Amino acid sequence: MARVVIKIGTNTLSGADGIDLDYLESLADQVKELRNGGHRVMLVTSGAIGAGSRRMGVEKRVKKIEYRQAYAAIGQPLLMHSYQKAFLKRDIPIAQVLVTREIFNNRESYLNVRNSVETLLKMDVVPIFNENDSISTREIGPVFGDNDSLSAHVASKLEADQLIILSDIDGLFNKNPREHDDARLIPVVEQLTEEILAMAGEGGTEFSTGGMKTKLKAVKIASRAGCQVVLAHGRAERILCRIMDGEAIGTRFMAGKKMNSRNRWIYNAEPAGTILVDKGAVKALEAHKSLLPSGITGVEGRFSAGDVVYINREFKAVTNLSSDEIGLITGHHSRDIPKLLGADRRDDVARPEDIVRLEG
């Protein structure tokens, strides 16, 4: 029995005239089979912007942000209506969960989403996630931007065992199969090496957002959560059940070593700024010591206490002090902190358990 997150790309669920109901019917059949096999299923769906723009007679990819937001607002209920039709027939209750990058960035709101989704799972409901595109734009704050990344964050935060990313390609090839006839599918990837990462070209088509690059990024996020990822063609016969039965189909990425949940949250959060530190401080952090004011040389950006920040782009950490406070104490010795910030303030800017080292 496994906890499975399934990401369905826009091209997978769309036919020539928009959302393909027959496809959603077959998807619902497969989800039913997985549930009967004891698996807990969560979906991450794309297609809101595509459905909304088609509904308004637009056949081209929409680039303007305000229109993407508007089309997402039009398309999301259409999308859910189609899912509802297919899943209701099979008596599978579904729920819509719209999230933003900011909600996942903030520890409190993320724990809140996690609790509500855990409750849905307990009630045997299939949560269907999408990014809340109507309110989530780069102009307002950090975004996922593509649902490959969103699906990996969902898999990581909800402790999934398996992430299945369905799209219109069969998996990872050693070179772009759309351009090279002799491209070879890679069935299993034990580790995401530089060589593997180099195989991903740029991607995305008229309506879809992600390409192989975003998929491999997603694999990285999921793999740190001890979650295996399979990339496969969404239209292949009974694809979900075959993957869960262990059949060699698509590309299977083995899970990496599982990082604990708090460290993963720090690792995956979008940093609010940067604390710059000297070599001595880097050494101390490498030795799992606290970040102390004496090693700080500056700050970039504005952030509050409790935010996740970069330390020199080598680490990410939860800071105990805001950027303004760090400005006041930069370069000072710990014993000066009470004088500078008040008697009850701690002298460590970040505790060892709140600091994670980034991979090269």
Using CB under 6 A, list all residues that contact ligand GLU: 10, 46-50, 72, 130-131, 133, 146-147, 208-210
DSSP lists the bridge partners of residue 354 as none
Residue at 138: amino acid letter: R
In this complex, which beta carbon is closest to ligand GLU, that of residue 20 or of residue 133? 133
In this complex, which beta carbon is closest to ligand GLU, that of residue 166 or of residue 291? 166
Report CA 55 to chain centroid distance, whole Å: 28
In this complex, which beta carbon is closest to ligand GLU, that of residue 14 or of residue 26? 14
Minimum CB distance to ligand GLU, residue 292 (Å): 42
The two tokens of residue 143 are: 């975004």
List the Cα angle 149/150/153 in 5-degree steps.
90
In this complex, which beta carbon is closest to ligand GLU, that of residue 9 or of residue 295? 9
**Rounded Cα–Cα distance for residues 63 and 290 (Å):** 45
Q: What are phi and psi of 228, to 5 degrees?
A: -80, 145
- Residues 6 or more apart whose CB falls under 8 angstroms from that of 105 comprise 142, 269, 270, 308
Minimum CB distance to ligand GLU, residue 18 (Å): 12
Minimum CB distance to ligand GLU, residue 79 (Å): 7
Minimum CB distance to ligand GLU, residue 92 (Å): 21
Measure CA of the first residue to CA of the last residue in the chain; give whole Å.
35
Is residue 31 a contact partner of residue 126, using CB atoms and an 8 Å limit?
yes
Going by their DSSP bridges, the two strands 296-300 and 274-277 should be labelled as antiparallel
In this complex, which beta carbon is closest to ligand GLU, that of residue 211 or of residue 250? 211
Minimum CB distance to ligand GLU, residue 129 (Å): 10
